[in-house]
Amino acid sequence: MTSESGSNTRGNALIVLGCPEVPIQQALALHVSYSLMKQGFTTHITGNPAVLNLLRVSDPEKRYLPGMNVLEKCIEEIVEKKRDCNLCIVFAHSDAGITYAATMRHLLPASRLVVIIFGKDPEPLALLIDFPCEKIVEKAVHNPMQLRKKINEVFRWAA
Amino acid sequence: MGCIENLQYEMILPLGASFKECREYVEKNFSEFWYVDPGYKIFDEYIIGLPPIALGIDGAKIIFPYTKPCHGTYLLAIEDADEAARIRKTARKKK
């Protein structure tokens, strides 16, 4: 089973990122990964090559992002039972993001699934979700503060 | 698109189609269609999507949705008799 470094007292968390065209995603991905690691989770981030490269540049020592791989590889590992997690957080600002969330719901039926829906018009996207998960919905493109507040409330992290 | 990008494909629905539009299109426009779940392997890749995922078959041609994070889902058709035969054996008829 694939895992990354970390205290791992709370288990494994998987963060699934969408296309990096919405600026707040990168800042919040780092925030979520940092906060989860602080809580004792081992975190792993998956996304397309562009979003992973943005994060690599932002965190050259991999302090907040110990493990990363591309979506196709991550899904392969999950299907082949080489990767598992008890918490999965999906960032979605498009129909494709919801599709990835639905896939994670199906492949990880026992995991807590939290879908963070954001962007210019997140409400219609949120309505596409007809599978069990927790939703955090906020209209947010450039300013991450309000969405960060909502995320912190859901996970009970101090601001 | 990984290895699917290297195959000769025909685009049935353009970039940006929603996943549900792709499913409805397959169900309405192909007399033979099958259902699979996310993680089903097709052309050596695990496909993703909102279950159930509809795959159309027209002779040896397979019609399936393909999702990319930046573009959304689009519907592709690829001709491969062996893969069509495998889908007929391993996919299901009911949603």
Q: Scan for tokens 């919801």, then name that residue.
A: A98
A7 — pLDDT class (breaks 50, 70, 90): low
**Contact at CB, A18 and B69, closer than 8 angstroms:** yes
> In this predicted structure, what is the pLDDT of residue A2?
54
**Contact at CB, A103 and B2, closer than 8 angstroms:** no
- As for how many domains chain B has, the answer is 1
**Contact at CB, B70 and A19, closer than 8 angstroms:** yes
Q: Residue B8: give the domain boundaries.
A: 2-90
The DSSP symbol for B82 reads: H
> In this predicted structure, what is the pLDDT of residue B60?
95
Q: How far apart are CA A123 and CA A118, in angstroms?
A: 8
- Is the pLDDT at A6 greater than 60? The verdict is no
Q: How far apart are CA A23 and CA A141, in angstroms?
A: 6
> In this predicted structure, what is the pLDDT of residue A79?
96
B68 — pLDDT class (breaks 50, 70, 90): confident
A133 touches chain B (CB under 8 A): no
* B8 falls within a domain: yes
* B78 falls within a domain: yes
Which residues from chain A sit within 8 angstroms of residue B42, using beta carbons?
A: none
> In this predicted structure, what is the pLDDT of residue B83?
96
* B44 falls within a domain: yes
Is-contact B52 B95, C-beta < 8 A? yes
Residue type for A94, please?
A: S
> In this predicted structure, what is the pLDDT of residue A1?
57
Least confident segment among A4-13, A47-56, A123-132, B7-16? A4-13
> In this predicted structure, what is the pLDDT of residue A143?
97
Which residues from chain B sit within 8 angstroms of residue A75, using beta carbons?
A: 39, 46, 48
* B95 falls within a domain: no
- Is the pLDDT at A48 greater than 90? The verdict is yes
Find residue B65's DSSP bridge partners: B75
Determine the average pLDDT of the residues in A128-140. 97
> In this predicted structure, what is the pLDDT of residue B69?
75
Parse chain A into domains and list their residue ranges: 11-155
Fold topology of A11-155 = Rossmann fold (3.40.50)
Which residues from chain B sit within 8 angstroms of residue A17, using beta carbons?
A: 69
Share of chain B above pLDDT 70, in %: 96
**What are the tens digits of pLDDT across the range B41-65?**
999 999 999 999 999 999 999 999 9
Residue A153's Cα: distance from chain center in Å?
16
A9 — pLDDT class (breaks 50, 70, 90): confident
Q: How far apart are CA B90 and CA B54, in angstroms?
A: 13
- Is the pLDDT at B26 greater than 60? The verdict is yes
